[in-house]
Amino acid sequence: MGKVIFVSGIDTDVGKSVATGWYAKQLMMQGYSVITQKMVQTGGETMSEDIRLHRQMQGIGLTEADRQGLTCPYIFPYPCSPHLAARLAEESIDAEKITQATACLSANYDYVLLEGAGGLLVPYTESRTTFDYLRACGYPLILVTSGRLGSLNHSLLNLEMCRIHHIPLQMVIYNDYPVADPLISQETQRYLRRYLADNFPEAQFVRLPIQDLK
């Protein structure tokens, strides 16, 4: 069975889909077989736009697993929190359906990068959040952040949750896009590196340069 890694961001629009596609490509360049998966996609119709972006960044076309819906078990049209999007579509999200799809993918790939929707505390049902799902599954986490104003606070809140609840943190990806104030960006990176060294010494800190996204 392949390794499943969960990818989340400190907030919406922090670039976790770009980071997921980029890291998938890095793993492929090391010779691994890699598939990405989206836990839930909102604001879509028949195909996850985030999955399309992943494939574009990986340099491959859509896979049979994409066409079968395994890489995104739930797609809802309204662009909002998954719990509300599901309710508006008069559906419900069954975590087991997502878990089974992930298991099918991990049986055929070395790595499955499972991207969440929004941040870690976004609810997918009335009583369950993405963090609840991550904790139940026990997947290691990649957290995507940036240097925009306020990101340090959001990053530390997410990391403190992981520390308190013993979530295995594999990596923090610092996204250079959008371009932030140079002084704030430099300090954010310095502080997060020190925090990881003190609290998650096994975790990597990886910078995602803008030029790597072109």
Residue 191 pLDDT: 97
202 carries a ligand binding annotation: yes
Catalytic residue among 3, 25, 38, 214: 38
Residue 214 pLDDT: 56
Known active-site residue 38:
yes
Q: Indicate the pairing of strand 34-38 with strand 111-119.
A: parallel
Residue 12 pLDDT: 84
pLDDT tens digits for range 133-182: 999 999 999 999 998 888 999 999 999 999 999 999 999 999 988 778 88
144 carries a ligand binding annotation: no
Q: How many CB atoms lie within 10 A of CB 31?
A: 7
Identity of the amino acid at 112:
V
* CATH superfamily label, 3-212: P-loop containing nucleotide triphosphate hydrolases (3.40.50.300)
15 carries a ligand binding annotation: yes
Kindly state the helix (H) or strand (E) to which residue 113 belongs, with its residue range: strand 111-119
172 carries a ligand binding annotation: no
Query: H helices within the chain, ranges in order?
Result: 16-29, 49-58, 64-68, 82-88, 95-106, 130-137, 151-164, 182-199
Structural contact between residues 75 and 48, judged by C-beta atoms closer than 8 angstroms? yes
Residue 24 pLDDT: 98
25 carries a ligand binding annotation: no
Q: What residues have CB less than 8 Å from 84, skipping those under 6 apart?
A: 78
In which region does residue 13 sit, left (phi positive, over 0), alpha (psi from -120 to 50) or beta (all else)?
left
Domain ranges of the chain: 3-212
Counting as low any pLDDT under 50, the low residues of the chain are none
